Amino acid sequence: MRHFDIQVPDEALRPALQTKIDNLNKPKGSLGRLEELALQAGLIQHTTEPSLHRPCHILFGADHGIEREGVSISPRDITWQQMINFTRGGGGINMFCNQHGFKLLIVDMGVDYDLMPYPGIINRKVAAGTRNFLHEAAMSMEEMDQCIDTGARLVTECHDMGCNVISFGEMGIGNTSPSSIWMHLLQDIPLSTCVGAGAGLDDDGIRHKRHVLEQAVARFRSEYPAFRPGRATTEECTEVLRQFGGFEMAAAVGAMLRAAELRMMILVDGFIMSACMLMASRLNDAVLPYAVFCHEGDEAGHRLMLQGMGAHGLLQLRLRLGEGTGAVCAWPLLQSAMHMLSDMNSFDGANITKYF
């Protein structure tokens, strides 16, 4: 797998940043999470005057072999239909990207449909969907490496355009299933807690989904009996990615790692993108200081997953659309944090006596 040389943000500037934030004309800590975001941005950019430029959103699309087992209420045709819809500006993510000024890149990593006639879609297709991980590994090592490299290259292109803050989304029917297994195997959380309704399964559907995923995990554990959930080595985490991941998820992992390598702020969406950040952090834990977890959804176990990474979402809007909508919706909060640092008066500047 490609090596990413990610540098943990230099903590030397923290006292100066914290002093600047504390001396804005407000009670100490009174702007809460906005103060945390400003501090994080300053550490990432190593300046007391951080700024965010040319935000980009990359949406990766792909199909999943496990969808054939009835683990989603939606058929796989929805993947390609929505991908085409995005090119026409008709998706939820189109609306939010237009509203907030994000450049949207739509990428076919492995959709089971010919999307070549649609020039608005970047063709990086690895195959027409992953294999069914109930019976075999979802992808080969070569396919996994190709996905990671593709995600990394696309982030480099955004960075070269002047982007220093980036978000990711996904389109792939069935992708809450690999996300649940990643969470189970990487954090040692009971699978029953990790499996939820996805796009809208009823109780019977959730039970069926859980049964299928239990069988898939049992297959994996029989092939790798020494694997210890929650204590996997980097090499074992790579194998979990290969065994269960989607092409769009592997691309997102590579994209996140490259974004951190380039010292970009990473806006993380809901359950599936949080699972991708979890995987990225197990491959290189230096990625986490660059992540802003934007939305905490209703998918079973999402809060536990975030807690395992020492995080909690900025927003709790009960979103379950995917596409990265939660990440883009959080953008005004980041803008507010930047304006707080650049536009708000200090006590000295406003001739106000400190009152904390």
Q: How far apart are CA 328 and CA 168, in angstroms?
A: 9
Angle, to 10 degrees, between the axis of helix 247-261 and the axis of helix 141-160? 50
Clarify whether 223 is annotated catalytic: no
Which burial class, exposed, middle or buried, applies to 71 when counting CB atoms under 10 A from its CB (0-12, 13-18, 19+)? buried
Distance of CA 133 to the CA centre of its chain: 22
Sheet containing 265-268: give its strands across. Answer: 121-123, 103-110, 56-62, 165-171, 265-268, 291-293
Q: In the chain, what's the furthest Cα-to-Cα distance?
A: 70
Q: How far apart are CA 355 and CA 347, in angstroms?
A: 9
Q: Which residues contact 218 (CB under 8 A, 6 or more apart)?
A: none
Q: How far is CA 131 from CA 144, 242, 280, in A?
A: 12, 11, 22
Q: CA torsion sign, 273 to 275 to 279 to 280? A: positive
- Residues listed for the chain: 356
Phi (first) and psi of residue 355, to 5 degrees: -125, 35
DSSP letters spanning 97-129: HHHHTPEEEEEEEE-SS--TT-TTEEE---SSS
Half-sphere exposure of 130 (CA within 13 A, CB side): 37
For 244: left if phi > 0, alpha if psi spans -120 to 50, otherwise beta; the answer is alpha
Q: Please identify every residue annotated as catalytic.
A: 323
